Structure formats: C-alpha cells, structure tokens
Amino acid sequence: MWFGKFLDIKDQVETETSEFKKKLFADIKKDKLTPLEFTILENIFTHEEISGYDLIHYLNEHFAGTWEAKSGTIYPILSKLKTQGFLKTRKVKSPIGPLKTLYQLTEAGKEILKGKVNQHFLDQIKFVENFLNELISIYIHSFPEEEHNDKISEVQDLIKKTFENIAKNIPLTVAFKEMCPKCKNQIERKCVFCPHCGEPMYSNKSEHSDLENENIKT
C-alpha cells in the first residue's frame, strides 16, 4: 500500500522518448493512481492473472485486518482500470458454473507499475522503517513502565523474525510456482482454480461457495 500517496503517472507518460513506449502508453487515460488502485495493480502483477474473487482474498491478506476489501468496492475499480488502459480481461470456464473473468495488466500497465516502484522503492522502504519505529514506541508505552524492558525484548525478537521471513521469501515473490493436482501443469500464480483445467486448487468448501457467488455477480 502506498500510504496515502497519489502516484502521478503523467510525467512518466509525457517524458517518454521511446516511440515504442509512446505508442504503448497511448491508451492510458489517467494522470494519477490512488493508493488503492496502485495496490490492486501490484497484486495483479504479482499473480500475473487473477479473478476478482482471488484478488479480494489476497487484498484482505495484504491489509491484514486493517481494512476489508469488498466486491462492491473492488469490481468498479477493476472496471475503471480496464477502461483507462491498465488492465485487460479474458473469460475462462469455471467448473462450478458460469464463465469467470480473469484480470491481467496490459503492457502499458506493467511498464507504469515497474517504473513507479523503481522510482519510489527506497523512499517506501524508509517510510516503512520510520512507521515501524513510531508504531513500536507507542506500543511499548501503552504498557506500564515496569514492563517496558520485557516488551522491548519481545518486539526486537518479533521484528528480527519478521525481516528474516521477508528475506527468505524474496525468491518466492519473484517466481511463485504450484502444480495442479489433476493436470500436473505448473501455475506461476496463486489461484483457487487451475487456469489450465479448472481443477479446484484448495478443498475448502466455503471458498468454492464464495467463488460461485462471485461468478454469478460477474
């Protein structure tokens, strides 16, 4: 999440000198992206291609309980991002009924996303560091003073484990692969159903029921 910062993409589009990229950006019809729009594009980029249902699921994992993504909010944004040239869609068969829509970034969408992340990466890392320091200080001071030393040790251990996990997961974030249990094809993104044969990737019945409802809506 880009922490309340609107990302101006006008400069990236207008200052591009490559004729190829000028043509690539010709269909982009938006000057700025909201933090939520940018986070949605990041999530779709990570999974390469994803249904609206899966996107909402992973957005809620992303926000970790601090905000709830709902279909009434996310689907209109997806529709706008498609109209504005950032996304494209295709329909695939669903093993539980109607066709479902899969979203992926256009080439222009990918270039804008990568350019903005590259431009702001170090700033965002520093922001995360500052934010964590402030959050930790307030958290520790929410306990009686006699407990501060214990809480400092607990938080130090937690932060150490958290950043160890981040470092370990870097290769996985670059190249995620999973094998379909039915057709044995490799899938390079997380999804509920195999994009090759439609086989459910998870056995959770409530997930299938929710996805069926989502497909009916779309």
* 52-80 tens-digit pLDDT: 999 999 999 999 999 999 999 999 999 99
Query: pLDDT below 70 — which residues of the chain?
Result: 1-6, 16-17, 172-218
Q: CA distances (Å), 134 to each of 43, 55, 127, 130, 131, in order?
A: 27, 30, 11, 6, 5
Tokens 């109607």: give the residue.
98
Residue 94 contacts residue 111 (beta carbons within 8 Å): no
Report how far residue 127's alpha carbon sits from residue 119's, in angstroms, rounded to the nearest whole number: 14
The pLDDT tens digits of the residues spanning 142-171 come to 999 999 999 999 999 999 999 999 898 887
Q: Of all residues in the chain, what percent are helix, strand and coil, respectively (each to 5)?
A: 60, 15, 25
pLDDT at residue 190, as a whole number: 58
**Nearby residues of 8 by Cβ (< 8 Å), 6 or more positions away:** 31, 32
Distance in Å from the first CA to the final CA of the chain: 26
What dotted CATH number matches 7-112+177-217? 1.10.10.10
**Nearby residues of 113 by Cβ (< 8 Å), 6 or more positions away:** 38, 41, 42, 45, 105
Of 73, 4, 78, 92, residue with least CA distance to 44: 78
pLDDT at residue 184, as a whole number: 56
Structural domain boundaries of the chain?
7-112+177-217, 121-174
Report how far residue 78's alpha carbon sits from residue 214's, in angstroms, rounded to the nearest whole number: 14
Please state the length of the chain: 218
